Amino acid sequence: MVSRTATIATAVLSGVLACSAGGSAVSAADKKPDARKVDAKKAEFFESKIRPLLLARCGTCHGAKKQEGELRVDQRQRLFRGGESGRAIEPGKPGASLLLKRVTARGDEQMPPKTRLKDSEIAALRQWVVDGAVWPVATGAESSRGDDADG
């Protein structure tokens, strides 16, 4: 038969272990970034770096007034769908994103054709694509990510 002291010690030890395990789970959860904060940071990055870059460096030929190659960079769905050459953006896949291929190309394939983007601008575009190409939307009608742009 188990002594009363052993039973109490087992109960206390079990309680301590349960509390410490629960505390660890809470601590781990607290360290995980809040998805809303991450999305807010990505949205801010888009609005401060990517949208102005697309409009200033690509919008003349691929904007509201003119869409060379049927590509438009001022509208989320149109950019992700792409133009005559195919999808311009593959969220999370910089190597598969035509936009990145064109801004890093040399010669006839280079975009913009006359003045190459700065390395910092290319790096910003690459980071945006790596991070899922978040494009904030004004309404709930379309996703803020480009991975649903086919439909």
CA angle (23 as vertex; 5, 38 as ends), nearest 5: 170
Cβ atoms of 98 and 114 within 8 Å: the answer is no
Same domain, 120 and 49: yes
Q: How high is the pLDDT of residue 131?
A: 96
Whole-structure pTM value: 0.69
Q: How high is the pLDDT of residue 76?
A: 93
Q: How high is the pLDDT of residue 137?
A: 78
Same domain, 28 and 76: no
pLDDT beneath 50: ranges in the chain: 12-13, 16-20, 23-30, 139-151
Q: How high is the pLDDT of residue 148?
A: 44
Same domain, 9 and 39: no
Q: How high is the pLDDT of residue 29?
A: 46
Same domain, 98 and 28: no
Same domain, 76 and 6: no
Same domain, 39 and 26: no
Q: How high is the pLDDT of residue 129?
A: 98
Q: What percent of the chain has pLDDT over 90?
A: 64
Same domain, 24 and 58: no
Q: How high is the pLDDT of residue 138?
A: 63
Half-sphere exposure of 64 (CA within 13 A, CB side): 2
Same domain, 56 and 28: no
Q: How high is the pLDDT of residue 143?
A: 39
Same domain, 98 and 46: yes
- Domain residues for 82? 35-148
* Number of domains the chain contains: 2
Same domain, 44 and 117: yes
Same domain, 15 and 45: no
Same domain, 59 and 4: no
Closest CA to 134 of 4, 42, 57: 42
